[in-house]
Structure 1
Amino acid sequence: MTKLTEFHNTTNLIYGTIATVGAALLGRYWFLFLGFLVANIIDYTTGFIKAKYYLKNESSAVGAKGIFKKVWYWVVICIAFFVSIVFKDMGNMVGIDLGFVVLFGYFTLATYLINELRSILENVVAMGANVPTFLIKGLDIVNKKVEDITNSGTEGE
């Protein structure tokens, strides 16, 4: 077996393991959670680099606050998915279809993912990178659409 084939097999094994564990723990759309985790790490890293090397105002207290904020994002996402599951199951117990509440978790995850991506773009722009305008505006549009969907039930109250 060649080194390339060996590398390819090892890579497939690692990806297969991650996909299987992710699907078992987080369901069919596990990759969204992985994407959010990666966005958390990239956002923290770009924020750290921006603060230390560009703004020259690195602070361990601010860094710790950022980490805690990201941990609380995950707590809110867990709560949103927990509420989804609980209400869906309670609806099944009493014969009411509350399947739509599963969207609570995904809307929460989408909102936080958009915020993380926007923050990453803000960080790299502050570091002098040229980010295409359509990307920034596109995230703004997606964010507005998600907010419109989540706020549509509160109109007229």
Structure 2
Amino acid sequence: MTKLTELQNTTNLIYGAVATIGITLFGKYWFLFLGFLAANVVDYVTGYIKAKYYLKNESSSEGAKGIFKKVWYWIVICIAFFISAVFNDMGSMLGIDLSFVFLFGYFTLATYVINELRSILENIVQMGANVPGFLIKGLEIVNKKVDDITNSSIEDK
């Protein structure tokens, strides 16, 4: 077997293992959670670089707060998906269609993904990079749409 074939086999094995674990833990949309995790890491790294090299005010307590905040995001996402599952199952038991609560978890995840992406772009802009305005404006629009959807469904009740 050539080294390239071995590398391809190893890469396929690793990807297969990650996908299997992701699907087992997070369902068929596991890649959304992986994307959010990646955004968490990139946001933390860009925030650290911005603080240390551009603003010259690196603080370990601020870094710890940032990590704790990201852990809380994950906890809120877990709670939102737990609420979705519980109410969907309770609705089935009671004969009430509560299938719409399935979206609670995904709306929560979407809100936090948007928040992370906006934060990454803000960090990059504060480091002096030129970021296309449509990216920042586009994320603002998407965030407003998600807020409008969630707020209108609350107000309708």
**TM-score normalized by the length of structure 1:** 0.97
Q: In the alignment, what sits opposite 1:86?
A: 86
Aligned to 1:143: 143
Measure, in 2, the Cα distance between the counterparts of 1:124 and 1:65: 20
> 1:153: Cα distance to partner?
2.0
Aligned to 1:51, the other structure's residue is in SS state helix
Question: Which residue in the other structure is 2:44 paired with?
Answer: 44
Please list the CA deviations of residues 2-41 of structure 1 after superposition, one character each: whole Å capped at 9, or x if unmatched: 2111111111110011001100111111111111111001
Percent of pairs with identical residues: 78
- Alpha-carbon separation, structure 2, partners of 1:124 and 1:88: 41
How much is the aligned-residue C-alpha RMSD, in angstroms? 1.1
Partner amino acid, structure 1, of 2:26 = L
Report the equivalent of 2:29.
29
Moved over 4 A (4+): none
Which residue identity is paired with 2:45?
A: T
Equivalent in the alignment of 1:59:
59
Q: CA deviation at 1:156?
A: 6.7
User: What TM-score does the superposition give when structure 2 sets the normalisation length?
Assistant: 0.97
Mean CA deviation greater in 49-58 or 134-143: 134-143
* Amino acid corresponding to residue 13 of structure 1 in structure 2: L
**Structure 2: any 5+ residue segments left out of the alignment?**
none
SS in structure 1 at match of 2:144: helix
**How far is the alpha carbon of 1:154 from its aligned partner?**
3.1
Partner residue in 2 for 1:14? 14
Establish whether residue 107 from structure 1 lines up as the match of residue 143 from structure 2. Answer: no
Instruction: Flag structure 1 segments of 5+ consecutive residues without an equivalent.
Output: none
Q: CA offsets per residue over residues 27-68 of structure 1, 9 Å max, x none? A: 111111111111001100100000000000001111111111
Q: Tell me the amino acid that sits aligned with residue 19 of structure 2.
A: A
